[in-house]
C-alpha cells in the first residue's frame, strides 16, 4: 500500500511542479523550491515503511527541489538554479524562526494546537543545522554538476540522473552523519543513510520524464 502511495505522490507532486512552471515560468520553479522545502520539513517527521525500509515521507517533496533546480539549470541557466537554492535555504530558516517564536507564546485556555505544534516543531538544533547544511551543499552541488555535465554535452537523462542521485546520496549520508554520530552506532547510521538513498534514487529516476516535459514548456 505504501509503495503505491509513493508512486501516486511522485506523479502528483512532479505534475504539480510542471504545471507551476508552465503557468509561471522560472519564477514558479524558484517559488516551488521554497514551498517544497517548507512542506517537506514539516511532514518529514512522519516515517513509513516503503519497500521494507523505514522512510521519511518528505522524500518526494525534497526530491522535487532537485527536479526544479534541474529544470532551471536546463532551461534558464545555473544562476537561476542557484537563486532557487538560496530561496529554499531562506524558507527553511524562516520556518525554524517562525515556529520557534510561535511556540514561545503562552497558549490561551481555548488553544488546542500547542501540544501538536511542540511535537512537530520542537527544535533540535543539531538536526536542524545538519538539515540546512546538507540541503544547501547537496542542492548547490546538483546545480554545479548538472551544469558541468551539460557543458560537456551529456544527454539530458544522464546529467539529470547522475547529478540528482549522487547529490541525494551525499545529502543523506552527510545529514545522518552530522545529525546522529555519537548517538547511533556506525552500523545504524549506515543503514539509515543507505535505505533513504535507495528510495530517493528510485524517485530520482522517476523525475526524468518530467524534466523532458519541462524542456518543452520553455
pLDDT of residue 218: 67
The confidence score (pLDDT) of residue 147 equals 96
Evaluated on CA atoms 138, 196, 65, 45, the torsion sign reads negative
Quote the CA–CA distance of 92 and 35 in Å, as a whole number.
Answer: 9
Q: What pLDDT was estimated at residue 173?
A: 86
Domain, as residue range, for 73: 2-217
Q: Across the 218 residues of the chain, what is the mean pLDDT of every consecutive 10-residue run?
A: 92 96 96 94 83 82 94 96 97 91 93 90 77 92 96 93 92 84 80 84 92 85
Global pTM reads: 0.92
Q: Bridge-partner residues for 48, per DSSP?
A: 55
Q: Where are the alpha helices (DSSP H) in the chain?
A: 2-43, 59-75, 78-104, 114-121, 125-151, 156-180, 186-206, 208-217
Amino acid 124: pLDDT: 65
Number of folded domains that form the chain: 1
Q: How many other C-beta atoms are found inside a 10 Å radius of the C-beta of residue 160?
A: 28
Amino acid at each position: 500500500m505504501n509503495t503505491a502511495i509513493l508512486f501516486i505522490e511522485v506523479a502528483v507532486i512532479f505534475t504539480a511542479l510542471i504545471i507551476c512552471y508552465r503557468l509561471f515560468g522560472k519564477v514558479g520553479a524558484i517559488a516551488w523550491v521554497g514551498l517544497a522545502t517548507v512542506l517537506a520539513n514539516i511532514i518529514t517527521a512522519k516515517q513509513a515503511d516503503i519497500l521494507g525500509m523505514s522512510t521519511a515521507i518528505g522524500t518526494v517533496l525534497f526530491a522535487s527541489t532537485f527536479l526544479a533546480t534541474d529544470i532551471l539549470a536546463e532551461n534558464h541557466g545555473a544562476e537561476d538554479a542557484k537563486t532557487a537554492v538560496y530561496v529554499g535555504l531562506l524558507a527553511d530558516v524562516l520556518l525554524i524562526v517562525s515556529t520557534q517564536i510561535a511556540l514561545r507564546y503562552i497558549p490561551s485556555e481555548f488553544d488546542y494546537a500547542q501540544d501538536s505544534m511542540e511535537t512537530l516543531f520542537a527544535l533540535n538544533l543539531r538536526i536542524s543545522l545538519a538539515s540546512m547544511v546538507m540541503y544547501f551543499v547537496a542542492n548547490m552541488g546538483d546545480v554545479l554538476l548538472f551544469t558541468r555535465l551539460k557543458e560537456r554535452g551529456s544527454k539530458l537523462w544522464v546529467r539529470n540522473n547522475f547529478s540528482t542521485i549522487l547529490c541525494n546520496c551525499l545529502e543523506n549520508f552527510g545529514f545522518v552523519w552530522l545529525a546522529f554520530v555519537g548517538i547511533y552506532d556506525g552500523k545504524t547510521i549506515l543503514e539509515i543513510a543507505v535505505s533513504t538513498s535507495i528510495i530517493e534514487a528510485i524517485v530520482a529516476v522517476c523525475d526524468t520524464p518530467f524534466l523532458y516535459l519541462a524542456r518543452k514548456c520553455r
